[in-house]
Amino acid sequence: MTTSAETTPPVDDRPKPPVVDERDIDAEAAQTDGPIDEASRDLLVEGVRTALDGRWRSTRDAVRENSDRADLLPDPSRTLAEARAHTLGVLKELSQQGFASAGFAADHGGTGDVGASITSIEMLGYADLSLMVKAGVQWGLWGGAIENLGTERHHEKYVKGTIDLDVLGCFAMTETGHGSNVQALETHATYDRDTQEFVVHSTTPSARKDYIGGAAEHARFAAVFAQLITGGPGEEATSQGVHCFVVPIRDEDGNDLPGVTTSDDGYKGGLAGVDNGRIMFDHVRIPADNLLNKYADVAADGTYHSPIENPNRRFFTMLGTLIRGRISVAATAGAAARKALTIATRYAMVRKQFEAPDGDDEIVILDYLGHQRKLLPLIAKSYAIAFAQNELTGELHDIGRVADDDSVAGRQRQLESDAAGLKAYATWHASHSVNVSREACGGAGYLDENQISIIRGDIDVFTTFEGDNTVMTQLVAKELLSSYADDVRGLSAGGWVRFIAGMARDVVAEKTAVRQVVQTLLESSDEDTDKSNLTDRATQIRLFRNREDHLVRTCAQRLRRATDDENDPFEVFNDAQDHLLKVGSARTERMVLESFVQAIDECDSRSAQQLLGKVCDLYVYSTLEADLSWFMMHRHISVERAKAIRRGVNDLCQELRPYASVLVDAFGIPEALLAAPMIENG
Amino acid sequence: MTTSAETTPPVDDRPKPPVVDERDIDAEAAQTDGPIDEASRDLLVEGVRTALDGRWRSTRDAVRENSDRADLLPDPSRTLAEARAHTLGVLKELSQQGFASAGFAADHGGTGDVGASITSIEMLGYADLSLMVKAGVQWGLWGGAIENLGTERHHEKYVKGTIDLDVLGCFAMTETGHGSNVQALETHATYDRDTQEFVVHSTTPSARKDYIGGAAEHARFAAVFAQLITGGPGEEATSQGVHCFVVPIRDEDGNDLPGVTTSDDGYKGGLAGVDNGRIMFDHVRIPADNLLNKYADVAADGTYHSPIENPNRRFFTMLGTLIRGRISVAATAGAAARKALTIATRYAMVRKQFEAPDGDDEIVILDYLGHQRKLLPLIAKSYAIAFAQNELTGELHDIGRVADDDSVAGRQRQLESDAAGLKAYATWHASHSVNVSREACGGAGYLDENQISIIRGDIDVFTTFEGDNTVMTQLVAKELLSSYADDVRGLSAGGWVRFIAGMARDVVAEKTAVRQVVQTLLESSDEDTDKSNLTDRATQIRLFRNREDHLVRTCAQRLRRATDDENDPFEVFNDAQDHLLKVGSARTERMVLESFVQAIDECDSRSAQQLLGKVCDLYVYSTLEADLSWFMMHRHISVERAKAIRRGVNDLCQELRPYASVLVDAFGIPEALLAAPMIENG
């Protein structure tokens, strides 16, 4: 191979070929040159897939078996009405198979396996993103609100019907005027002492519930987020903040109930099978019992009480229980990216264009460096994200099974921040990967029969729903900078800046314990990243950690300095917004890398471990390359090392090229769901 | 404003506020602070729009007037069949209005105004991209093939019918197996001496014509690109290369003619109004006269002759005449980006979220730095691209009006390269801008009623058709590196590397004359970019020029060095492919910047000129920021200057914020075509 250097560098940071351990029977499969025999290849695929499948691999296998059917794929010839009816039909089929039980506690009528629940919803993303969203709304959002915000009376009344679809619900949080700023919702639920009812009302046109999945057609019930207005005897009725209420919206024939006006969001950029719609409430009366009252309740006389004193903390505690939706969306985005990349990679291995060196035939396009550079770094990033996702799912599952004490509160808070960060990171990655995959397949990629164009339309809104990505990234940074302080959430931008300015101590990036595998790596390596080799995992981790620390520290200093000058706190915040967003993404990238390192460490197969090591290298090199200007600007990476990183990406692409099919096969996507005539046509 | 710096830089490269010339009556409108009064604002909008409209502003105004109708917008509720029929219906309406005449020479029945023709097709992009593509196929591609590759007999027979739609044609170049590599097409047109016919035949399944607009339903004729197989008396019949033939494919009732099998590409990622399809030929006989014979002909006895000896040069001469399609596609992509950005910007000026500093109301999202950073640099880049596009259109127009001599050949060659580069640059920009615009509008952006999601589906394939963007970018670089050498086109990658290695002299980046305005700027400035201020236009141009020169030089050196070592030429090429692609994009960016500078220089209104100067600064700063790692890695920009550039983008965004509405209004998009309920809803 010729060198990619424009000038010869003094240090060689290019990745080394993997060291083959002769005691390892799979070793030959992990060599990067030469052909791999079929048996070793199968072992390698299995080893990598096992690692990637994670703790809920049996769930994955079960969904794989049930979903290996081309009839599950979206059909663009359906009208909107047909697409919606079809999706509901498949949902009913899933329900009959017991698909939804895992998401609900055993004593509510489920099996109580949160990890399995998220994993199986993610797997639906390989079939049809509309189906995933429809399932996510019914069982994750509506069901999750009942499960996590409700109490026994709600569980008894709704859970069984929710599982078997006798009760079709929707999740009416977002309003036309408010999406990101949920605390400012304009729907009111005013307690009427005389009748012991709540009066649910859309107080302004912008209080209209909007984009609500299920609201256009199918949902009969809504979990409505509204300002709870009440006061005890002699008190003025005021808002106690946003709470969630069960509001019946349609009768059994699908007609709007009195006072409820639903309408249809109509055609969208994708997700044709989801009936998004709008709801206006005109003084709709519901029994007081319909308040989902796990965290707050209203006595008959109107007195409001809650075990959580602080209104902000109460609000965020309630929101926090809904984190499952955010994790599911991120997980599914990962699945969509993997599917598009699999189709594009397979096409690139059969599609030929322009003549090969010997002039007899043309060359497959994956042999071009330019094409490798389009797809392989995205495949590597998909691995990284999938491992991080598995960890988050596991953490959510585990938190739900331990006693509720202070340490759990800390873990929950950390999980919420991590989930926000990964949601943004994974959905941006998915959107980008699907775009690149479409373009990499040329005109064929634009035909719906080859699926990528459909995924492209469907995945687009994942960067928006369950939390706008920019807001999510900023949330990570704000949490980090304020050291997860208890009362900081819900503050305005200016208020938050004032809080930061008032913090006595220096902020440190890492609040949680350093995981053992990272600790061990760091201890056995040189702290000076300039001196250590870039192919060392510890150096890689240090670069990611140092970036995060540097950004957190300088951002905090900057906010403090600016407030010292008595500038307007909002302006201080706003001028630093790009810095803040960078804090958030650097934090998430470090978390993702460390999850990857952990997964490699835990991998049972030596050959899979070696291959994953290379994939991790490509993730690191291409991630550093994408942010090279920052690393150079802040002197974390020298000019020479920067050049070596660019070359390293090229080298790793060429090294991993022979493993491209192994890497996409190991995603384990059911073959029937990967149908694409262009791959047969070449 | 607080400083965005993490540390204070030694040099201040931040853009200065514009100097207001007191003699300038419009001056106050160009100040960046304080309100602009209505009259000054109107003048400013008009001044900027006049500059942006360019030479064919009267054409733009005429199309504006005719297209300010909401019924021209795509309607997602149409079935595929309805969408196609609707598009054809509007095309007929346009035809009756004389829309198509400008694209054809006066003595063929048109009015011969190429610039007006491209400009009016571009303007259709504001209404409906399907309509633009349908018009482009009929009048630009099919019509262009007849006009530019045919001779009198074809002009007489087809031009009038093409203009008034009695003759519906399609452009059958791409095959299932070959898109980018047109020289390897597998359709044959074999001359039959006995009957003086060509026999058109799809020799393999992959020879099937594919993705052809019009082939699924409407086209009755096809301009078919096929290997012309013939030999003179006593010669063996061989391929003379790819030529274009008129092949009737359907009868008046829309049935396939004997030997022709059309089929439908079906549902796509967008462009529902375009009936893309496939064509297979089974020994279809056409009269010899149907060869479009401007550049080559076959005598009755089968002897092939052409005024252009070299087969490669002949092929590329024929292709070169079809450049209009490529320019139209790039121009329309620019229009699509401007439309999406206009809608997103207007939404960002009414959409509020989270509380404002005073706590009474919420803040409009365009006041957030993060949101400004999403939209404003893309608006600036849209301006830059539009000015470059206007120049290319003008050059194509002018070349067609001067005598055909050697200097024209050089200009044509340069234009082809520039058009390839700008096609890639503009369509990638459009795709990206539409994605960003959708996300910037959140859930509302995903509803088709607000248009951006429809544009997103439609624009996607623009990066592919009329030349895959990666191939286009590479073409620019290859042309530059081989100094537009005559016989280099059509060489394999390896062959091209061998050519480069054999070139005696050093390659210089700029082959064409430096334009006067740039020359003047460069002469009056310091050659040392380190010492001169980054806000100086000359320094900006130098940085872009130096990058291009550096990349061209090092790429050539690298290719030569590698071939010296007797490596395989294809591998040498492939290892350098990322370097090569970077040459191409750096070249295009420099061209775009210089067009911008030219347009500012020619702008009549002082206030418009000042505002455009700021917009140009933002284009430069954000373009440098996006490639900062390269500039630092190659020591063209210091660490301090790099930091100043990041801050400069922030500062410019905040400075241009008050002009956001002026900048999008000056795009001059008909108001009826900007309908988006979310802007009313806020």
Residue B182 lies in a domain: yes
- State residue A369's pLDDT score: 97
Nearest CA in chain B to A646: B578
Whether A515 and A580 map to the same domain: the answer is: yes
- State residue B562's pLDDT score: 83
Nearest CA in chain A to B474: A370
Whether B327 and B296 map to the same domain: the answer is: no
Asked if B460's CB is within 8 angstroms of A453's CB, the reply is yes
Residue B534 lies in a domain: yes
Q: Could you say which of A248, A283, A314 is where a domain stops?
A: A314
Total structural domains in chain A?
3
Residues 169 to 198 of B: which have CB under 8 A from any A CB? 174, 176-181, 184
Asked if A367's CB is within 8 angstroms of B574's CB, the reply is yes
- State residue B9's pLDDT score: 39
Whether B293 and B419 map to the same domain: the answer is: no
- Within 8 A of A205 by CB-CB distance, chain B residues are 681
- State residue B356's pLDDT score: 60
Query: pLDDT band at A562, cuts 50/70/90?
Result: confident
Burial class (CB in 10 A: 0-12, 13-18, 19+), B506: exposed
Between the CA of residue B395 and those of B400, B413, B425, what are the distances in Å?
Answer: 9, 12, 18
pLDDT score of B104 more than 80: yes
Query: Where is pLDDT greater, at A547 or A506?
Result: A547
pLDDT average, residue stretch A438-458: 98
Asked if B265's CB is within 8 angstroms of A567's CB, the reply is no
Is B456 part of the contact surface with chain A (CB cutoff 8 Å)?
yes
Taking only the tens place, the pLDDT of each residue in A359-393 is: 667 889 999 999 999 999 999 999 999 999 999 99
Determine which of A2, A371, A582, A681 to mutate to test the interface with B (most B C-beta atoms within 10 Å). Answer: A2
Taking only the tens place, the pLDDT of each residue in B198-230 is: 999 999 999 999 999 999 999 999 999 999 999
Query: pLDDT band at A536, cuts 50/70/90?
Result: very high
Q: Find the CB nearest B629 among A6, A77, A628.
A: A628
Is B585 part of the contact surface with chain A (CB cutoff 8 Å)?
no
- Within 8 A of B176 by CB-CB distance, chain A residues are 681
Asked if A355's CB is within 8 angstroms of B266's CB, the reply is no
Is B89 part of the contact surface with chain A (CB cutoff 8 Å)?
no
Residue B239 lies in a domain: yes
Taking only the tens place, the pLDDT of each residue in B266-316 is: 999 999 999 999 999 999 999 999 999 999 999 999 999 999 998 988 999
Distance of CA B262 to the CA centre of its chain: 30
Is A368 part of the contact surface with chain B (CB cutoff 8 Å)?
yes
- Within 8 A of B77 by CB-CB distance, chain A residues are 80, 266-267
Residue A500 lies in a domain: yes
Q: Find the CB nearest B354 among A77, A457, A492.
A: A492
Interatomic CA distance for residues A440 and B544, integer angstroms: 29
- State residue A513's pLDDT score: 75
Between the CA of residue B564 and those of A9, A650, B500, B569, B575, what are the distances in Å?
Answer: 20, 22, 11, 10, 15
Asked if B474's CB is within 8 angstroms of A460's CB, the reply is no
Pick the range with the lowest mean pLDDT from A172-176, B107-111, B405-409, B590-594: B405-409
Q: For residue A404, what is the domain's CATH number?
A: 1.20.140.10
pLDDT score of A28 more than 70: no
Question: How crowded is residue B412: how many other Cβ atoms within 10 Å of its Cβ?
Answer: 19
Q: Find the CB nearest B461 among A2, A353, A443.
A: A443
Between the CA of residue B320 and those of B148, B317, B490, B596, what are the distances in Å?
Answer: 10, 5, 13, 26
Whether B546 and B425 map to the same domain: the answer is: yes
Residues 286 to 345 of A: which have CB under 8 A from any B CB? none
Token pair listed for A73: 């794929």
pLDDT score of A31 more than 70: no
Interatomic CA distance for residues B473 and B582, integer angstroms: 8
Q: Could you say which of A134, A164, A194 is where a domain stops?
A: A164
Pick the range with the lowest mean pLDDT from A106-110, A457-461, B161-165, B444-448: A106-110
Whether A407 and A263 map to the same domain: the answer is: no
The per-residue b/e assignment along A24-42, b for 16 or more CB within 10 angstroms, e otherwise, is eebbbbbbbeeebeeebbe
Domain that holds residue B357: 323-393+402-446+463-669
Query: pLDDT band at A15, cuts 50/70/90?
Result: low
Token pair listed for A134: 């429809």
- State residue A487's pLDDT score: 75
Query: pLDDT band at A35, cuts 50/70/90?
Result: low
Nearest CA in chain B to A454: B269
Residue B181 lies in a domain: yes
Reported ipTM exceeds the 0.85 cut:
yes
Say if CB B268 and CB B277 are below 8 A apart: no
- Within 8 A of A646 by CB-CB distance, chain B residues are 578, 633
Whether A385 and A327 map to the same domain: the answer is: yes
- State residue B2's pLDDT score: 39
pTM for the model: 0.95
Taking only the tens place, the pLDDT of each residue in A84-104 is: 999 999 999 999 999 999 999
Whether A299 and A218 map to the same domain: the answer is: yes
pLDDT average, residue stretch B480-502: 85
Is B449 part of the contact surface with chain A (CB cutoff 8 Å)?
yes
Q: Find the CB nearest A681 among B176, B355, B639.
A: B176
Q: For residue A121, what is the domain's CATH number?
A: 1.10.540.10
Whether B268 and B343 map to the same domain: the answer is: no
Whether A365 and A295 map to the same domain: the answer is: no
Residues 617 to 646 of A: which have CB under 8 A from any B CB? 625, 628-629, 632-635, 639, 642-643, 646
Interatomic CA distance for residues A5 and A393, integer angstroms: 42
pLDDT score of B239 more than 60: yes
Interatomic CA distance for residues B521 and B516, integer angstroms: 9
Kind and range of the H or E element at A199? strand A197-202
Residue A546 lies in a domain: yes
Nearest CA in chain A to B5: A558
Interatomic CA distance for residues B168 and A165, integer angstroms: 53
pLDDT score of A120 more than 90: yes
- State residue A478's pLDDT score: 94
Tell me what percent of the residues of chain A surpass a pLDDT of 70: 93
pLDDT score of A519 more than 70: yes
pLDDT score of B563 more than 90: no
Distance of CA A450 to the CA centre of its chain: 25
Whether B498 and B416 map to the same domain: the answer is: yes
Asked if B269's CB is within 8 angstroms of A453's CB, the reply is yes
The per-residue b/e assignment along B182-208, b for 16 or more CB within 10 angstroms, e otherwise, is bbbbbbbbbbebeeebbbbbbeeebbb
Whether B327 and B382 map to the same domain: the answer is: yes
Nearest CA in chain A to B181: A354
Terminus-to-terminus CA distance in chain A, angstroms?
28
Q: Find the CB nearest A176 among B446, B457, B681.
A: B681
Asked if B181's CB is within 8 angstroms of A493's CB, the reply is no
Query: pLDDT band at A565, cuts 50/70/90?
Result: confident
pLDDT score of A34 more than 50: no
Tokens 């959107």 belong to residue: A431
CA angle A257, A259, A260 (to 5 degrees): 60
- State residue A121's pLDDT score: 96
Taking only the tens place, the pLDDT of each residue in A385-426 is: 999 999 999 999 999 988 777 788 889 999 999 999 999 999
Taking only the tens place, the pLDDT of each residue in B5-54 is: 344 334 456 566 544 333 333 434 444 444 578 899 999 999 999 999 99
Pick the range with the lowest mean pLDDT from A15-19, A383-387, B351-355, B610-614: A15-19
- State residue B22's pLDDT score: 33
pLDDT score of B495 more than 90: no
Following DSSP, what letter does each residue of A570-635 receive, concatenated? HHHHHHTHHHHHHHHHHHHHHHHHHHHHHHHHH---HHHHHHHHHHHHHHHHHHHHHTHHHHHHTT
Query: pLDDT band at A501, cuts 50/70/90?
Result: confident
CA distance B461 to chain A (A): 7
Asked if B633's CB is within 8 angstroms of A633's CB, the reply is no
- State residue B25's pLDDT score: 35
Asked if B571's CB is within 8 angstroms of A268's CB, the reply is no
Interatomic CA distance for residues A437 and A451, integer angstroms: 11
Asked if B682's CB is within 8 angstroms of A447's CB, the reply is no
- Within 8 A of B470 by CB-CB distance, chain A residues are 370-371
B359: left (phi over 0), alpha (psi -120 to 50) or beta: left
Rounded CA Rg of chain A: 26
Residue B539 lies in a domain: yes
pLDDT score of A301 more than 60: yes
Q: Find the CB nearest B578 among A176, A370, A632.
A: A370
Half-sphere exposure of A254 (CA within 13 A, CB side): 6
Whether B83 and B123 map to the same domain: the answer is: yes
Is A401 part of the contact surface with chain B (CB cutoff 8 Å)?
no
pLDDT score of A117 more than 60: yes
Interatomic CA distance for residues A304 and A297, integer angstroms: 6
- State residue A532's pLDDT score: 85
Residues 410 to 439 of A: which have CB under 8 A from any B CB? 431, 435, 438-439
Q: For residue B204, what is the domain's CATH number?
A: 2.40.110.10
CA distance B362 to chain A (A): 10
CA distance A527 to chain B (A): 24
Asked if B650's CB is within 8 angstroms of A266's CB, the reply is no
Q: Find the CB nearest A443 among B174, B494, B642.
A: B174
Residue B16 lies in a domain: no
CA distance A352 to chain B (A): 8
Q: Could you say which of A103, A131, A164 is where a domain stops?
A: A164
Pairing relationship of beta strands A352-355 and A362-364 according to DSSP bridges: antiparallel
Query: Where is pLDDT greater, at B602 or A510?
Result: B602
Nearest CA in chain A to B276: A447
* Helix, strand or coil, per DSSP, at residue A170: strand
pLDDT average, residue stretch B463-475: 96
- Tell me the pLDDT of chain B averaged across its residues: 92
pLDDT average, residue stretch B350-376: 86
Token pair listed for A39: 């048996």
- Tell me the pLDDT of chain A averaged across its residues: 92
